[in-house]
Amino acid sequence: MEYVTLQKHLFNDFVESLASRTKVVAPVSKGNNQFSFQEVSRGEQITLNYIPTILPPKKYFMPEYEVLVEYDASQGQKMQPVVEVENLVLFGVHTCDLAGIQCLDVVFGDRPKDLNYLIRKGYVTVIGLECNDYCDDYASCGLMGNFLPRGGYDLFFTDLGEYFMVNVATQRGGNMVEASSFWKEATPENFREFLFLREGKQKIFQPEVPIDRHIIPQMFKEGFEAKVWEEIGNRCLSCANCTNVCPTCYCFDVKDVPNLDFNTGKRIRVWDSCQNEPFAKIASGESFRAQRSDRKRHRFNRKFSYPVRRYNRFFCTGCGRCSRTCMAKIDLKETIAQLALEVGYIKQ
Amino acid sequence: MEKLLINNTGYEVKEAHIIRTTKMTEQDKLFEVALQYGEILDFEPGQFVEVSLLGVGEAPISICSSPTRRDSFELCVRAVGRMTNALHRLKAGTEIGIRGPFGVGFPVTQMVGHDILMVAGGIGIAPLRSLINYVMENRRDFGRVHILLGCRDPRLMLFGNEIQTWQKRLDIGFNCTVDRADPDWKGNVGLVTALIPGVDIDPENTFAVIVGPPVMYRFVIKELLAKGIAENRIVLSLERHMKCGLGKCGHCQLHDIYCCQDGPVFFYDRIKNMKGAI
């Protein structure tokens, strides 16, 4: 039972039945073409045709504030590591964000392993949702090859008009299907429509910058001193919006939050950003990326070059959030194109 | 939200206590520290620990004693930030937390049987002292040993008493210089780089180990290369702000390298083409 179908008119019942058993979060419209993953209890609260949410589903895997340790300093340095978890069904995750979660899985699963992340991850069930067409012009999932699913989900929904084609990818996904009677086995006709959509997508989604992504790390190496970094550095406001909305930015700060008794408290980690000037500063006052251009170049290299060497994968999913949110209108696709032009990978 | 109690996350500290504090300069203090219950901190020269004070935070500090001394270890701390200033206020007997040791230390096993030229600038003497003392305690494992030391002015000289004993030892070569002398100073004046050409070593058989402020590296490395020491025999320790120590938080990242896990000690040939490394 790898593929089943869910009729659209049963979608609401499906969501209600899920929500009666566990917390369900899904894309919800916030107005002004903005969307957010929020808790839902009914199907009609969910926007199926949404552009990437303001924050990626990263927030459920690596919360902005996360308690690592609870301490009591009244008797020496006593502490208890903790992890806060919650059973959660994450519905409607686009393929770009599935790729983003996989990037985080790789980082936090790499030795030394991050138990807080790995334990929490086990509490989240992921239901993906296919993009039948581009969300908007900011996306670069064609270039990054993330417009088709490449794993990272328990169930995966494809909207085929009257019904969803549902890929059951894990035992956990299978259990969800078996727990209710909404599902039908997929027919050859369903598969025909499904493959027709997939083939059509191959034509719709093309590299948004006319280069082969496999040359990108080399291009970044050659373009380390390219003018484009200076150019976007001059425009960058160092606001860190791009890192906050990025599905694969995982940098953090570790800090203590004492309770009012000043003896007990929590050691937490909070999202941090390499775009902030003090990020790479050391005690002597020296800052290793003092210029905005240094920091922009660092961020781009951390998406397209360094992780390819370290983890053998790109850390840009092509979701387009950084470009959508940038107050200085620094556009990822334009930046890559400009770099490719400067280094000679595309001709004017 | 359900709260699970877990263990071995990498963030829990080992309980430790301060045995002794020694003021070294206006800014620098030496802390002798022992882990509770007689536990031995198993480290290599050049590694660092995260020192934790609950409610204040953590700071990455190089271990400045030799691992050959097992029942305690030493940390030389300069009071520059909130955490290190708080540490400076602590007295002997106070409990602190220790995470680590972290990272890759000096390649002491590879250096066995070779000559060693150690160059320290400023507070760089602190991590290098771990290696210096290690080498002294295992003196017959190594060939000729030279120590070159540079600092801004004599009042900022760290480990002054030990330096005097190093100067007297017959089994090592020792030279020291200050940028600015005071009336009592009788030694060299000038940059530490000026001492390198005069060192009598066999470059084919020498490991050079450098620890100092970032600006020092470029000039010292130039001299060492001119001396004929190979790029894969020049060892240096990169100072970065290691926050988590676990290769995740990103603060110490240098290209695809996390200094806290892949370093802080590197061979020069590995990082020489990484812009921003030195």
What is the per-residue pLDDT for B30? Answer: 97
Tell me whether residue B250 is in a domain: yes
* Least Cα separation, residue A139 to chain B (angstroms): 26
Asked if A256 lies within 8 A of B255 by C-beta distance, the reply is: no
Same domain, B54 and B125: no
Q: How does DSSP assign A86-109, residue by residue? A: --EEEEEE-HHHHHHHHHHHHHHH
The pLDDT, as a whole number, for residue A1 is 54
Partners of A107 on chain B (C-beta within 8 Å) are 248
At B200-240, the pLDDT tens digits run 889 999 999 999 988 899 999 999 999 999 999 999 999 99
Please indicate whether, in this complex, the C-beta atoms of A253 and B249 are within 8 angstroms of each other.
yes
> For the segment B136-178, what is each residue's pLDDT rounded down to a tens digit?
999 999 999 999 999 888 888 899 889 989 988 899 999 998 9
Asked whether residue B8 is domain-assigned, the answer is no
Phi, psi of B186 (to 5 degrees): -110, 0
**A258 neighbourhood in chain B, CB within 8 Å:** 55
CA A272 to chain centroid: 16
Query: Are both B120 and B255 inside the same structural domain?
Result: yes
A48 and A158 co-located in one domain: yes
Is A233 found in the same domain as A167? no
* Residue B9 domain flag: no
Residue type for position B73: F
The domain in which residue B182 lies consists of 108-271
Find the closest chain B residue to A277 by CA distance: B251
Whether residues A122 and A157 fall in one domain: yes
- Residue B27 with chain A: CB contacts under 8 Å: none
Q: Report pLDDT digits (tens) over B228-272.
A: 999 999 999 999 999 999 999 999 999 999 999 999 999 999 999
Closest chain B residue to A310 measured between Cα atoms?
Answer: B256
Of B54, B246, B255, the CB nearest to A71: B54
State whether B92 and B117 are in the same domain.
no
For position B70, which CATH number holds? 2.40.30.10
Q: Which residues from chain A sit within 8 angstroms of residue B275, using beta carbons?
A: 224
**A87, A121, A254, A257: which to substitute to probe chain B, counting the most B Cβ within 10 Å?**
A254
Cβ proximity of A7 and A162 under 8 Å? yes
Of A68, A76, A250, the CB nearest to B11: A68
Q: Is residue B1, in this structure, part of any structural domain at all?
A: no
Q: Do A77 and B80 touch (CB under 8 A)?
A: no
pLDDT in tens, A195-220: 999 999 999 999 999 999 999 999 99
Does residue A157 sit in the same domain as residue A188? yes
pLDDT attached to residue B213: 87
In a domain, B5, yes or no: no
Residues A161, A308, single domain; the answer is no
**Same structural domain, A197 and A221:** no
Question: What SS3 state is found at B26?
Answer: coil
A41 and A127 in a single domain? The answer is yes
Q: Is residue A70 part of a domain?
A: no
- Residue from B253, B260, B275 whose CB has the most chain A CBs within 10 Å, to mutate: B253
Query: Which of these three, A204, A237, A260, is where a domain ends?
Result: A204
**Taking 90 as the threshold, does the pLDDT of residue B183 lie above it?**
no
Query: Closest-CA residue in chain A for B244?
Result: A254
| Tens of pLDDT, residues B47-71 | 999 999 999 999 999 999 999 999 9
My answer on whether B177 and B162 are in the same domain is yes
Specify whether A25 is located in the same domain as A8.
Answer: yes
Question: How high is the pLDDT of residue A41?
Answer: 96
Rounded to a whole number, what is the distance in Å from the CA of B79 to chain A's nearest CA? 9
Residue A101 in domain: yes
Domain boundary among B65, B85, B102: B102
Question: Whole-angstrom Cα distance, residue B97 to residue A79?
Answer: 10
Number of domains making up chain A: 2
**Same-domain pairing of B61 and B115:** no
Q: Which of B81, B102, B123 is the last residue of a domain?
A: B102
* A250: chain B residues, CB-CB within 8 Å: 248, 250
Task: Residue A7: name the closest of A162, A214, A188 by CA.
Answer: A162
Number of domains present in the structure of chain B = 2
Per-residue pLDDT, B160 = 87
Q: Could you tell me the CATH number of the domain that includes residue B113?
A: 3.40.50.80
Pick the last residue of a domain from A204, A234, A266. Answer: A204
Task: Indicate whether B143 and B251 sit together in one domain.
Answer: yes
Q: Give the pLDDT of residue A286.
A: 87
Of B12, B251, B255, the CB nearest to A81: B12
**Residues A245 and A296 placed together within one structural domain of the fold:** yes
- Shortest distance between the Cα of A256 and any Cα of chain B, in A, equals 5
Cβ distance A81 to B246 less than 8 Å, yes or no, reads no
- Best mutation target among B1, B3, B7, B54 (most A Cβ atoms within 10 Å) is B54
- Same domain? For B90 and B184 the reply is no
* Residue B150 covered by a domain: yes
Q: How far is A216 from chain B (nearest CA, A)?
A: 15
Residue B247 near residue B261 (C-beta atoms within 8 A): yes
**In terms of domains, do A104 and A193 share one?**
yes
Residues of B in contact with A298 (CB under 8 A): 253
B95 and B220 assigned to the same domain: no
Min Cα–Cα distance to chain B from A291, Å: 12
Between CA A137 and CA A161 the distance in angstroms is 24
Please indicate, yes or no, whether residues B151 and B60 belong to a single structural domain of this protein. Answer: no
Q: Do A267 and B84 touch (CB under 8 A)?
A: no
Residue A263 lies in a domain: no
pLDDT at B118 over 90: yes
Chain B interface, best mutation among A77, A108, A262, by max B CB count within 10 A: A77
Contact check, Cβ <8 Å, B78/A283: yes
Query: How close B185 comes to chain A (CA, Å)?
Result: 26
Chain B: closest CA distance from residue A161 (Å): 37
Euclidean distance between CA atoms A68 and A62, whole angstroms: 12
- Closest among A104, A90, A118 to A24, alpha carbons compared: A90
Q: Tell if the CB–CB gap between A272 and B250 is shorter than 8 Å.
A: yes
Which residues on A lie below 8 Å from B9 (Cβ)? Answer: 68-69, 81, 83, 114-116
Q: Strand, coil or helix: what is A268?
A: strand
Indicate whether B220 and B172 sit together in one domain: yes
Q: Do A112 and B84 touch (CB under 8 A)?
A: no
- Kindly state whether residue A77 falls inside one of the protein's structural domains: no
Pair A223, A155 in one domain: no
What is the residue range of A174's domain?
3-62+83-204
What are the helix (H) ranges across chain A? 11-21, 58-61, 95-109, 115-121, 141-144, 171-178, 188-204, 216-222, 227-235, 241-245, 292-304, 306-311, 321-325, 332-343
Q: Are residues B182 and B261 in the same domain?
A: yes
Residue A111 lies in a domain: yes
Q: Do A86 and B2 touch (CB under 8 A)?
A: yes
Q: What count of CB pairs under 8 Å joins A to B?
A: 148
B15 strand-pairing partners: B97
CA distance A104 to A329: 26
| Mean model confidence pLDDT for chain B | 93
Residue A76 lies in a domain: no
Q: Is B137 found in the same domain as B42?
A: no
Among A79, A298, A302, beta carbon nearest to B12:
A79
Q: How close does chain B come to A160, measured CA to CA in Å?
A: 36
Q: Do A256 and B249 touch (CB under 8 A)?
A: no
Q: Quick one: A31 and A152 in the same domain?
A: yes
Domain stop point among B52, B78, B102: B102
Domain contains B84: yes
Q: Which residues of chain A have pLDDT under 70?
A: 1
Of A85, A115, A281, the CB nearest to B241: A281
Please give, rounded to a whole number of angstroms, the shortest distance from the CA of A229 to a CA of chain B. 14
- CB spacing of B256 vs A310 below 8 angstroms: yes
Dihedral over Cα of B267, B272, B277, B278: its sign: positive
Give B12-42 pLDDT, tens digit per residue: 999 999 999 999 999 999 999 999 999 999 9
